[in-house]
């Protein structure tokens, strides 16, 4: 295997790992958002709808939902 091929392979492996990590975070955020909505007596958003949001949008939505939940207690 040439050096270029090794570097490409390493790049692909790093990309896969980053994708997996982001997928885990997205899944955790979706679960957290739905839980917050449920605790706020709201209809939880559909998983498919939340999955369309960017990671940044999910983080912001989770923070807002958590903040609203804290204010109700």
Q: What domain range includes position 20?
A: 3-71
- pLDDT at 49 (0 to 100): 98
- Determine the Cα angle at 67 with ends 27 and 21, to 5°: 20
Q: In which residue are the tokens 């679960």 written?
A: 31
The domain total for the chain is: 1
Query: So what's the pLDDT on residue 26?
Result: 98
Give the C-alpha separation, 63 to 48, whole Å: 20
Specify the pLDDT at position 1: 81
Q: Which residues in the chain land under pLDDT 70?
A: none
Q: The pTM is what?
A: 0.84
């Amino acid at each position: 295997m040439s050096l270029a091929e090794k570097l490409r392979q390493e790049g692909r492996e790093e990309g896969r790992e980053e994708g997996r990590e982001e997928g885990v975070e997205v899944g955790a955020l979706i679960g957290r958002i739905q839980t917050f909505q449920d605790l706020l007596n709201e209809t939880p958003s559909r998983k498919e709808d939340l999955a369309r949001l960017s990671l940044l949008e999910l983080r912001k939505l989770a923070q807002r939902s958590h903040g609203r939940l804290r204010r109700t207690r």
